[in-house]
Chains A and B, each alone.
Chain A
Amino acid sequence: MLSYGLKRLGLSVAVVVIVIAALFVMIYAVPGDPARVALGPRASDALVAELRARLGLDLPIWSQILRFYGSILQGDLGRDVISGAPVLKVILAQLPDTLRLVGGAMLVAVVPGIVLGVISATHRGSAIDRLTSVLSVSVMAVPSFVIAIYLLLIFSINLGWFPAIGAGQGFWDVAHRLVLPSLALGLAWIGYTARILRASMLEVTGQSHVRTARAFGISDRRIMYDYVLRIAILPTITVLGLGIGQMLSGAVFAEIVFGRPGIGKLVYDAILARNYPVVTGTVLFTTVFFVAVNLAADLLIAWLDPRVRHDLAH
């Protein structure tokens, strides 16, 4: 377990190191002098030179990239060009709203996803299995922002069941305003969850320990819950880990359509304002989050299922 965990951790770190290098290259390749862009066209040459020295822009490139890694290691993602606040602090201030939305979307995805997956696998080839399969690929295909716009149009504007804008205050108001954006963000993942669970259950059903259990006369219901579902649920954990990571940044559409604060809104506003440190900082933050969640999901599976760590450690 330890050797598998270390290998998996090393790979994650290597991936993040590469992503940081790519971000550095992009910032470096941007036309125009970042110092001049930050200060505006009317700044004096002396002022620009001073900022260049302060930002380390006059150093050779290898020295700049080391400084870049060094500051990121210290949690310094740069400063918001407009407010002057540290980017990490700006991101953390927006995080709770987005996490609430992702939590809501996970709730939307997990419960119906697992129920539909189990029903499909146990009723393979039936009408309900086929219907679930078509519905699954349909919600996976339609982009979440189109779903968000139509939900807003139907349930907020036409029917008036839900407020259209803002995150709200107090538990019930916040929950009320979470319903539509969570649906928009989570709907596709009902499909992913149901599909992977169905496939994985059918695979486990064909394995010999299930055949043996059946030969012993154990009831279908017990076989399904005690012998099949307990193993078949594992790939679902991987998919949901992937889901949390993708949702954190996919939230940008739900946040804009429903006028909610959050990480997505933050990065969108930063792009329009050419607030580069906030953009790169958010990309790095969400990437590290994504990599960390996937790592956690993989380690959880290896811990639950000894076969995985044996296969992958060698």
Chain B
Amino acid sequence: MTLHTDPAAAPSRRTKPRGALARLVADPLGALGLTLIALTVLGAALAGLSPHSPTGLSPLDRFSGPTAEFWLGTDNLGRDLFTRVLYGARVALALSIGATALALVFGLVTGVAAGFGPRWADNILLLILDAMKSVPTVMLALVLVTFTGPSLWAVVLVVVLVNGPAYARMARTQTLAIRNADYIEAERSLGAGGARIVFAHVLPNILGPILILAAMDIPIVVGIEAGLSFLGLGVRPPAPSWGTILYDGFSYIRDSAWMVIAGGIPIVITALGFTFLGEALRDTFDPKLAKR
């Protein structure tokens, strides 16, 4: 049992500076993450090549196990599960990237505003962000969906409210740190306006760490969508989402396990893919964060 006292002994220090992508792929975790994501993206891109329809019913083929025609079997309505999984990747990717982008915009706007604004506005915003964070994630999602009704947009709203506050806090902290720096003072004395300072100095400085945080949050977003859809409160049937496949399949788990197997595996693949990529990104580009 030895305790290392030297915090600078991180293995990444030994690697020579190289291109960003090369460094990412050199990290086994990064390579694995990229592979899993590529698998998901490929599935989403090639979904249209499937001879089956994601929503077409085929009552004669209900509850089929995997065959040469139906690679992952069929569901209770005779729909090809493999095709539904591929189309589900489109829903999952579009939603997680779109909703995360909205959460980022929300976080950046409120965070930079809080950082630049007067003290009282900053305090009020902080209190509201604290309040948003104080409602347990699952309850926040459930209560919003109860009042908006289940839909794709309800899921997007949930994601913005769940993940947005963290981005806002990070943007605020970084803005406060930059706001009083000497070079900003110099810019201001040269006559630069607020907009120029935000776009030329603040945003480029804070975007990197926030983007890494967002990449690591994608599994949470995939989980929120699939979780709400599994409860029947997210993406509406017959749209093919991995969560709705699990929702349909759970009723038949005893006799036809193929449905829950087909619905769950892609969630695991995507969640692990983005998590591994996020870890590798952080280790590669942001040693400050890696210490946490």
Contacts and interface: CB of A to CB of B under 8 A. Distances in A.
Contacts of A286: 136, 139
B135 interface: yes
Contacts of B134: 15-16, 19, 287, 290-291, 294
Interface residues of A, number: 68
Interface string B254-292: 100100110010011001101110010000000000011
A173 interface: no
Interface string A199-228: 100110110001100100000110110001
Contacts of B87: none
A137 B127 contact: no
B1 A122 contact: yes
B142 A252 contact: yes
Interface residues on B, range: 35 or more
A18 interface: yes
A153 B267 contact: no
Contact of A245 (B9, B136, B219, B231): B136
Given A141-B271, A143-B227, A153-B253, A279 B130 contact: no
A142 interface: yes
A66 interface: no
B250 A143 contact: no
Given A143-B267, A286-B136, A153 B257 contact: yes
B85 interface: no
B253 A157 contact: yes
Interface string A252-287: 110011000000100110011000100110110011
Contact of A122 (B3, B227, B246, B250): B3
Given A26-B147, A142-B268, A205 B135 contact: no
Given A18-B127, A152-B253, A157-B257, A267 B142 contact: yes
A249 B3 CA distance: 39
A127 interface: no
B257 A250 contact: no
A204 B147 CA distance: 47
Contacts of B138: 246, 249-250, 252-253, 264
A205 B233 CA distance: 47
A22 B29 CA distance: 42
Interface string A131-159: 00010011011110110011011000100
A214 B291 CA distance: 23
Interface in B100-127: 127
A36 B291 CA distance: 57
Contacts of A145: 226-227, 230, 246
Given A22-B131, A149-B246, A248-B136, 16 more contacts: A16-B134, A18-B131, A19-B134, A23-B143, A30-B147, A121-B3, A141-B219, A145-B226, A150-B264, A199-B292, A206-B5, A220-B3, A250-B138, A252-B231, A268-B142, A291-B134
Interface of B: 1-5, 7, 9, 11, 29, 127-128, 130-131, 134-140, 142-143, 145-147, 219, 222-223, 226-227, 230-233, 246, 250, 253-254, 257, 260-261, 264, 267-268, 271-272, 274-276, 279, 291-292
